[in-house]
Structure 1
């Protein structure tokens, strides 16, 4: 047996700060794969850069836009997936109240097709914010022939021994928590999910400072990058015999 660890960066392509932060973490050797938000403003550049840097990509399927000032728009003409400004609704709860299921499927199909059109074969799919309908997503993932991170029943293949979220850890203890988690890993396949970004003015344009999402605009992302690129992470992985892998490395499915 061995300890294998996938380090997954979410929200790739969301904006330049996020794209560049994920690439920095990948080039440092920590992030092993990312998930692209196809409707996001920096998605095209992000996919091109991923190809150049050898970053495996899954598809972070978008049906909601949680930011006030940074907007994501459907790829399809689906009217039931839009609010007044033409962007996605702010959350899945609002989406469920208005979405035509057929338009949801068409939009998800379009997002995966766009990644493949860019010459990228997705390693997996997953939902942004929350899952609209697990049954629909699992069925689509099977049809696309990709692993689905959101599919909990039946178990995912390959099964994950642990799935741990770096982004929810307190900034003051984030690095220490990350290292402690790595030291605790038993034999098996594990995943850490993070949201790294480089600091800059762009992150402060996502929403108002008094928004409940403000922490996720900057603090969470910048401290994720700091923890992942700290030399102590690579050193601890080496000391514990942890092999950093991606779904592309494992040739899944």
Structure 2
């Protein structure tokens, strides 16, 4: 495949798109690195970083309090530049939340590249992955390269990646992972690198009214190894109610899920449970040191 920025001759020929349901889940139990045989390490990852100021602020607060241990940034999203600057300042371990869709009716973002086949009529991304059936795989790859380069260009060293909503094409994800050395949370084929975890659990899909109880039950049953919780925290903000109409199937994802994720993670009960159970909160990679004079608050 020809990469963005390289000279192109004839159009690159891509194999048939490889979809996630055609590949076994390769994420779990792949030479997990733990501090000891009995250690329980918990990675708390915040997705959608930079989507909106309420999301950026919610993730930053939880990182600074020592609960969120890493995040993934949406480089095309409206608050991405502020999120990148904040991650550079604090040294928060960062990945790239690979974005090829904009699911909201009234809050929109656009590709970083020209990418005409990735755009809706308003110039923003199409609303979901199914709408990308006719999209150019080359355009998608070049757009994802531009998103990784945006993070690198902000002075950061991303270490992991995953798809926003769900994967578009596993073949280009594998090539992107190999090209930049990024571990993927999505299951991808060789030569891609898959994230090494013993378990992966999504806080956001738990019912809001029992989310804290579900979180506490989950961490109480973790065996030794490295585990990940994925969340979508945000500060409560009126803007979140304006992303889409209440009749939308995405309505709960606009505010309720995000605010309840934040509440569960920031609860004293969760911090106390991790402490009492001897769970070590960690990132999948050692974070870059914060710039001199701006000490890293997360330990």
Short-chain TM bin: over 0.9
- The equivalent position to 2:55 in structure 1, one of 13, 18, 21, is 18
Task: Give runs of aligned pairs for residues 73-84 of structure 1, distance below 5 A.
Answer: 73-84=110-121
Assess if the C-alpha contact under 8 Å between 1:138 and 1:151 holds in 2: no
**Pair 1:90-2:123 in alignment:** no
The DSSP-based 3-state class of the residue aligned with 2:229 is strand
Q: Cα offset for 1:159?
A: 2.4
1:169 to 167, 183, 206: 206
Structural mapping, 1:87-166, within 5 Å: 87-96=124-133, 98-153=134-189, 157=194, 159-166=196-203
Aligned-partner SS, 1:249: coil
> Residues 55-79 of structure 1, C-alpha deviation per residue, up to 9 Å, x if partnerless?
1110001001110011110000111
Deviation at 1:24, TM superposition (A): 1.1
Question: Secondary structure of the residue that 2:72 maps to in structure 1?
Answer: strand
Q: Residue deviations 1:84-111, cap 9 Å, x none?
A: 0001111111112x21111111101000
2:240 alignment counterpart: 203
Q: Give SS of 2:285's match.
A: helix
| Unmatched segments (≥5 aa) in structure 2 | 1-36, 289-299
1:243 aligns with 2:280: yes
1:115-147 per-position Cα deviation (integer Å, ceiling 9, x unaligned)? 000001102111001100112201210111111
**1:149 touches 1:156 (CA, 8 Å); kept in 2?**
no
Q: TM-score, normalised by structure 2?
A: 0.81
Contact 1:123 1:248 in 2 (8 A): yes
Among candidates 192, 197, 221, match of residue 229 of structure 2:
192
SS at match of 2:234: coil
Please say which of residues 45-54 and 219-228 is displaced more in the overlay. 45-54
Query: Where do 4+ consecutive residues of structure 1 move more than 6 Å?
Result: none
Once the two structures are superposed, what CA deviation does each residue of 1:4-61 show, in whole Å capped at 9, x if it has no partner?
1100000000000011011111112110000000000000001101122221110001
Structure possessing the higher radius of gyration over alpha carbons: 2
Out of 51, 58, 63, the residue aligned to residue 100 of structure 2 is 63
The answer to whether the 8 A contact 1:61-1:111 is kept is yes
Distance change (3 Å), C-alpha of 1:142 and 1:6: same
1:153 Cα deviation after fit: 5.0
Q: What's the C-alpha RMSD, in Å, of the aligned pairs?
A: 1.5
| TM-score normalised by structure 1 residue count | 0.95
Comparing 198-207 with 6-15, which one deviates more in the overlay? 198-207
**Alignment pair present for 1:32 and 2:69:** yes
Structure 2 CA distance for aligned equivalents of residues 37 and 29 of structure 1? 22
CA contact (8 A) 2:170 2:189 kept: no
Residue-pair matches, total: 250
**Cα displacement (A) at 1:185:** 0.3
Deviation at 1:239?
Answer: 1.1
Q: Which moved more, 1:6-15 or 1:151-160?
A: 151-160
